[in-house]
Amino acid sequence: QVQLQESGPGLVKPSETLSLTCTVSGGSISSDYWSWIRQPPGRGLEWIGYVYDSGTTTYNPSLESRVTMSMDTSKNQFSLRVTSVTAADTAVYFCTKIVASGSSDHWGQGILVTVS
């Protein structure tokens, strides 16, 4: 059974860079697509983008200028960086595994990142 676990700082200062890592167990990240989705407190879900094939990426155009995703197959991890953060980036960030239909069939528990 694939399991995902987000990690990273829970507090980031405005204008700085948010960096998160998702560690995958129970499967190789080389063979699937991996995404980040976020949820501001008390609000709905926003798709950030996905990474696959050792580093090919597709991002939400609304975030594309500030977002970078990458993969480290040696550690079975993938990562998210968001630059120039503001309070609007405060959210629970989820990493997910995507299947061919675009569906997220496995989710991490989520990590709250506060920009303040």
Partner 1 sequence: DIVMTQSPLSLPVTPGDPASISCRSSQSLLHSDGHIYLDWYLQKPGQSPQLLLYLGSNRASGVPDRFSGSGSGTDFTLKISRVEAEDVGVYYCMQALQIPYTFGQGTKLDIK
Over the Cα atoms of the chain, what is R_g?
A: 13
Examine residue 65 and tell whether it contacts partner 1 (CB under 8 A).
no
Q: How far apart are CA 27 and CA 14, in angstroms?
A: 36
List, in order, residues 6 or more apart from 7 with CB less than 8 Å away.
20, 21, 22, 23, 111
Tokens at 23, concatenated: 């560690």
The amino acid sitting at 9 is P
* Contact between 62 and partner 1 per CB under 8 A: yes
Q: Residue 16 or 53: which CB sits closer to partner 1?
A: 53
Of 8-16, 18-26, 42-50, 70-78, which part binds partner 1 (CB under 8 A)? 42-50
Residue 110 interacts with partner 1 (CB under 8 A): yes or no:
yes
- Comparing C-alpha atoms, which of 44, 98, 106 is closest to residue 69? 98
Spatial separation of the C-alpha atoms in residues 71 and 77, rounded to whole Å:
6
Q: Which is nearer to partner 1, 28 or 58 (CB)?
A: 58
Interface positions, 67-96, toward partner 1 (CB under 8 A):
94
Report the residue number, 5 or 83, with the smaller CB distance to partner 1.
5
If one asks whether residue 104 binds partner 1 (CB under 8 A), the answer comes out as yes
- Under the rule (CB under 8 A), what is the footprint of partner 1? 44-47, 49, 58, 60-62, 94, 99, 101-105, 107-110
